[in-house]
Amino acid sequence: MRSLSDLEQPAKATSKVWRSGRRPLLRAVSVALVAGSALFSAMGCTPARPAENPLEYTENARRAYEEALEAYFDKDWEQAVLLFEEIRRNYGYTRYARLAELRIADAAYHQDKYAEAIAGYKAFVSDYPNDPEVPYARLRIVKGLFAQTSDTFLLPPLEERDLANVSDAYVELNKFLADFPGHEDRRELDYMLEVVTGLLARHELYVARFYLREDRFEAAVARAQYALRNFEGSGLEAEAMVLLGETYLKMKKKKLAEASFRRVLQQYPASPFTLPARNFLKQMGLDPTTAAVALPDPVPKAPEGEGPGAGIEEEEPGLEGAEPSIRN
Classify each residue of 110-138 as buried b or exposed e, where b means 16 or more C-beta atoms within 10 Å of its C-beta.
eeebbebbbebbbebbeeeeebebbebbb
pTM of this prediction exceeds 0.85: no
> Is 178 a domain residue?
no
pLDDT above 50 for 129 = yes
Give CB contacts under 8 A, 24+ apart, made by 284-292.
284/249, 284/254, 284/257, 284/258, 286/258, 288/261, 288/262, 292/258, 292/259, 292/262, 292/266
The pLDDT value recorded for residue 45 is 46
Confidence bin at 99 (pLDDT 50/70/90): very high
> Is 128 a domain residue?
no
Task: Give SS3 for 38.
Answer: helix
> Is 231 a domain residue?
yes
> Is 133 a domain residue?
no
> Is 116 a domain residue?
no
> Is 95 a domain residue?
yes
In this structure, the number of other CB atoms found within 10 A of the CB of residue 318 comes to 11
> Is 268 a domain residue?
yes
pLDDT tens for each residue of 137-152: 999 999 999 999 875 5
> Is 250 a domain residue?
yes
User: Residue 252's domain spans which residues?
Assistant: 216-300
- Report whether 107 contacts 127 (CB < 8 A): no
Which whole-number Å values give the CA distances from 256 to 148, 229, 297, 302, in the listed order? 39, 17, 7, 16
Counted domains in the chain = 2
